Amino acid sequence: MDSFRDRVAVVTGGGTGMGRELVKELAAEGCHVATCDVSAEHMEQTRAESLRDAPAGTRVTTHRCDVSDERQVLAFRDAVRAEHATDRVHLLFNNAGIGGGGSLFTDDRAEWERTFAVDFWGVYYCTRAFLQMLVAADAARIVNTSSVNGFWACLGPGVPHTAYSAAKFAVKGFSEALINDLRVNAPHVGVSVVMPGHVGTEIVANSAAVLGRPSAKEMTDKDLAAVRERFKLPPGVPGDDQLRAMIHQVGEDFRDKAPLSAAGAATIILDAVRAGKWRILVGEDAVAIDALVRARPEDAYEPSFTDELRAKGLFAALRVAP
């Protein structure tokens, strides 16, 4: 697929981050895009920004959809078919995702399962829903977003990261299994699995909103006490206002101090899709971690492994605790 012009693409999680940048870049090439998100406000901003540089006649439609709910996904598919007046889709970017449910022991079960549902079942439901429209195209590709945490289930020593990692491992495995399934049943449809490292996005703030967590400013004394307990902080140190500010700063730093911007990530992804690559590592950190995990799998979860990564300058801006 050398050109995306006049193709039809579906992008989930298009309200912010890599999803928004994918929509913008696709539209700028004259690709018609249908995007969904749980935030109507974010989607409207995406649509406005994507149409600024799009050729005349390019269609960008927005749809509210929680990809973890199959009924909503099917309604989204039907809306795409109607609003784009088409029975075919050339590109499906299963990009929507959230973080949360780090520990089986200390995190709420509902949050754990909600995180897994968005990050894996959303990919599965959307692939199922749009499969016949992809098959109906002359050439098509499914692009599933996994993560470096899809082959390295870790954020560092002492930081449980189970729900997100389990889901991203599942996305990677599902995508790889689809290679042969598609070759047998729909050889003109390809699949790619995207594995980003640290990319500057709003995932910290967006995840909190989806999971119903209060923002840092809205945290009550009970919420702050839970944070102190989780990270073993002494009572009153730091003070409540300072702790709120630190929690807020974590999300800001994740977005603003990342080694790769969301726009840069989108460009890497689309270039790889054009080239027909099935395995897409996004960012120098993703390339380095992949190489090290493959070389020394038995050491991957030892504290010294993370120390070595940090010594290489990786994760310098990544903080998961106040």
Return the active site residues: 164
The helix (run of H) or strand (run of E) holding residue 120 is none
Name the amino acid, one letter, at 299. D
> CA-to-CA distance for 24 and 306, rounded, in angstroms?
35
Both structure tokens of 185:
């049943």
Bridge partners (DSSP) listed for residue 228 = none
DSSP string, 247-296: HHHHHHHHHHS-SEEHHHHHHHHHHHHHTT-SEEEESHHHHHHHHHHHH-
- CB neighbourhood size of 111 (10 A): 19
CB neighbour burial string for 190-214, b if at least 16 within 10 angstroms, e if fewer: bbbbbbbbbbbbbbbbbbbebbeee
Residue 162's identity, in one-letter code, is T
- Distance, in Å, from the CA atom of 317 to the CA atom of 253, rounded to the nearest integer, reads 7
Retrieve residue 5's tokens.
């012009």
